[in-house]
Chain A
Amino acid sequence: MALPHEKERSDSQEFSPVGTWALLCLIAAAMVAAWLFLYFGVFLPRGTVH
């Protein structure tokens, strides 16, 4: 008989959080896009300090 903790672990392994992976990928993509926009679209066009 599986011990409680092993059962919990087994349940977790059987469950694949695909929605969470998809959500995190979307958030990561949005953050990268926003960072690139700020760097190339806002920061670099301001040029050097005068």
Chain B
Amino acid sequence: MTDSGFKKLVLSHFWVAFGAFGVASVLGLYQVVERSGLIPALQSPKVYFASVSTHGVLMAYVLTTFFVMGFGYLVAVSSLKTPLWNPKLAWVGFGVSAFGTALAAIPLLTGRGSVLYTFYPPLQASALLYIGAALLVIGSWFWCVIMLVMYGQWKKGHPGETVPLPMFANTANAILWLWTSAGVALEVVFQLIPWSLGLMDTVDVGLARTLFAWTLHPIVYFWLIPAYIALYSFVPQAAGGKLFSHELGRVAFIMLLILSLPIGFHHLYMDPQQGKGFKLAHGVGTFLVALPTLITGFTISASLEKAGRQAGGTGLFGWIGTLPWRDPMVLAAILAFGMLIAGGFGGIVNASYAMNAMIHNTAWVPGHFHLIFAGTTVILYMAIAYYVWPSLTGRTLVSRTLPVIQLWTWFIGMTILTTPWHILGLLGQPRRISSVVYNSVLTLAWTPYELAMIVGGAILLGSALLFLYILWKSQTAGAPEANAEIRYAGYEEPETPVPVLLNDFKLWNRIILALMLVNFGYPIAQFFFTKTFGSIGWGY
């Protein structure tokens, strides 16, 4: 690790991320209790939707963006073994994002930003929410620039050499985020901000939803790539083995970059403003983006199998039992795969053009994305924090057992929370609803599942608080550990360079541009040469 100033930068990002996570976890428990109707005094649609919007923004934008930035800086410096380029710019990015977050918090906490985290018009929030969100994203673009410059400088200084896999993935994520965030940035800057300021009377809802669909799927991979970096770079090392294949990892990250972008219309299957041909094209792409995840599953499982067999595991599955299940990184990876498989199945159902009608806008959908995001992604964020904390703080974790308990409770809580959620979706419960004030056979059938979700939410909140306690206690009272370094999995610099296409992004950027033009060009252009009608706002 480098100087204390750099560690302070990374820790600042992590603490903003995890602070937001803590607040959002409290709101999560309130929401499942409110929705169940168990405590009538808590029932308030106004408070509920303010809470859901805040929970969504904190989890999906604040936790993720700050974590990705902090972890990205750490990966760049530790894997390239070079100082951070322009730390002042990194602090400016942090400040812009933090200011944007504070600005967005004002309407969210005062009930003037209850438009959920998807910002879908004609729901209209205070302009402060949109301006704050825009600043949060703009701050993250500073991070993208720094990552791209460091990647470029390293390549220039090491001609013909292979970029270390963690930094290659990190750079792919920075490029992905620049492409991804452009859609929502266009929507916010040219539609939502002028509209919410009263400069425009109406908003074109179809165009807004199309632009948001541009962002809405690849953003999931922006969140997920740090988790995948941990899988490829930390897990094999923590399991006592080596990565099965560096090349497969590079292929997976390139596929994530290319295939996650032109597929967002699976969020618009039921929307009338896009034709079924484009929806089908995006649907096919949605199935294709499962491939890099399959490659990742295979590569990491093979790495674990090799480690498990080296530890004495025999037979077809005997290696699983010999893995170090008490290591937080290995445990988190195994639990993450469990949730990814279940959540991935839900995603296949969502993407199935016909079956989507069955679960569209039902409780199934938040059940699905909680498994993928709050399950798979966040549990690996936690494991990453445990892994890097000693090198960032210079102190060991206060306990070796508590992180294991914390990860297990997160997995158990998430399972108890999301299983009933999926069932409720199949029973017909719409998503985005507060508690119901009428009793019918239909809604009474929801009750046992909603009560089970409270148990899941309570376990998750306990696990979240335990996570924060472990980090804080370790930072302030852990035993000093002066020489802790971030160790990457079996990373020997390849003497034989990998193919140029697995070490560079120029061609892939051109392919992305072509795919985006094909899949989004006409669907967006149509709003400018056909007559469409705007909507007035439905606001606070």
Chain A partners chain B: yes
Asked whether A19 and B317 contact (CB < 8 A) given A24-B301, A31-B348, A42-B358, the answer is yes
The residues in A between 1 and 50 inclusive whose CB is less than 8 angstroms from any CB of B are 3-6, 8, 11-12, 15, 17-20, 22-24, 27, 31, 34-35, 38-39, 42-43, 46, 49
Contact at B302–A20, with CB atoms within 8 Å?
yes
Contact at A12–B345, with CB atoms within 8 Å?
no
The residues in B between 357 and 391 inclusive whose CB is less than 8 angstroms from any CB of A are 357-358
Assembly CA distance A43 to B349 (angstroms): 11
Is B240 at the interface (CB under 8 A from chain A)? no
Interface mask (B335-359 → A, CB under 8 Å = 1, otherwise 0): 0000001001100110010110110
Assembly CA distance A10 to B493 (angstroms): 15
Interface size band for B:
20 to 34
> A12 → chain B, closest Cβ, in Å?
6
> A33 → chain B, closest Cβ, in Å?
10
Is B492 at the interface (CB under 8 A from chain A)? yes
The residues in B between 296 and 351 inclusive whose CB is less than 8 angstroms from any CB of A are 297-298, 301-302, 305-306, 315-320, 341, 344-345, 348-349
Contact at B341–A27, with CB atoms within 8 Å?
yes
**For residue A31, which residue of chain B has the nearest CB?**
B345
> A47 → chain B, closest Cβ, in Å?
11
Assembly CA distance A6 to B426 (angstroms): 52
Contact at A8–B490, with CB atoms within 8 Å?
yes
Asked whether A12 and B426 contact (CB < 8 A) given A20-B302, A38-B349, A42-B358, the answer is no
Measured between beta carbons, the chain A residues less than 8 angstroms from B302 are: 15, 17, 20
Measured between beta carbons, the chain B residues less than 8 angstroms from A27 are: 341
Assembly CA distance A39 to B357 (angstroms): 12
Is B198 at the interface (CB under 8 A from chain A)? no
**For residue B247, which residue of chain A has the nearest CB?**
A9
> A23 → chain B, closest Cβ, in Å?
6
Asked whether A12 and B245 contact (CB < 8 A) given A17-B302, A42-B358, the answer is yes
Is B3 at the interface (CB under 8 A from chain A)? no
Contact at B301–A5, with CB atoms within 8 Å?
no
Measured between beta carbons, the chain A residues less than 8 angstroms from B245 are: 12
Measured between beta carbons, the chain A residues less than 8 angstroms from B244 are: 12, 15, 17
The residues in B between 431 and 486 inclusive whose CB is less than 8 angstroms from any CB of A are none
Contact at B297–A24, with CB atoms within 8 Å?
yes
Contact at B345–A34, with CB atoms within 8 Å?
yes
**For residue A34, which residue of chain B has the nearest CB?**
B345
Is B496 at the interface (CB under 8 A from chain A)? yes
**For residue B356, which residue of chain A has the nearest CB?**
A43
Contact at B316–A43, with CB atoms within 8 Å?
no
Measured between beta carbons, the chain A residues less than 8 angstroms from B426 are: 42
Measured between beta carbons, the chain B residues less than 8 angstroms from A43 are: 354-355, 358
Measured between beta carbons, the chain A residues less than 8 angstroms from B493 are: 4-5
Contact at B306–A6, with CB atoms within 8 Å?
no
**For residue B349, which residue of chain A has the nearest CB?**
A38
Asked whether A17 and B349 contact (CB < 8 A) given A8-B492, A12-B245, A43-B358, the answer is no
Contact at A23–B317, with CB atoms within 8 Å?
yes
Measured between beta carbons, the chain A residues less than 8 angstroms from B315 are: 19
Measured between beta carbons, the chain B residues less than 8 angstroms from A39 are: 352, 355
Which of B319, B345, B349, B490 interacts with A19 by CB under 8 Å?
B319
Assembly CA distance A19 to B308 (angstroms): 11
Is B494 at the interface (CB under 8 A from chain A)? yes
Contact at A5–B496, with CB atoms within 8 Å?
yes
Contact at A5–B348, with CB atoms within 8 Å?
no
8 smallest beta-carbon distances between A and B, as pairs? A5-B494, A17-B302, A3-B495, A20-B301, A4-B492, A20-B302, A19-B305, A17-B305
Using a CB–CB cutoff of 8 Å, the interface residues on chain B facing chain A are 242, 244-245, 294, 297-298, 301-302, 305-306, 315-320, 341, 344-345, 348-349, 352, 354-355, 357-358, 426, 490, 492-496
Using a CB–CB cutoff of 8 Å, the interface residues on chain A facing chain B are 3-6, 8, 11-12, 15, 17-20, 22-24, 27, 31, 34-35, 38-39, 42-43, 46, 49
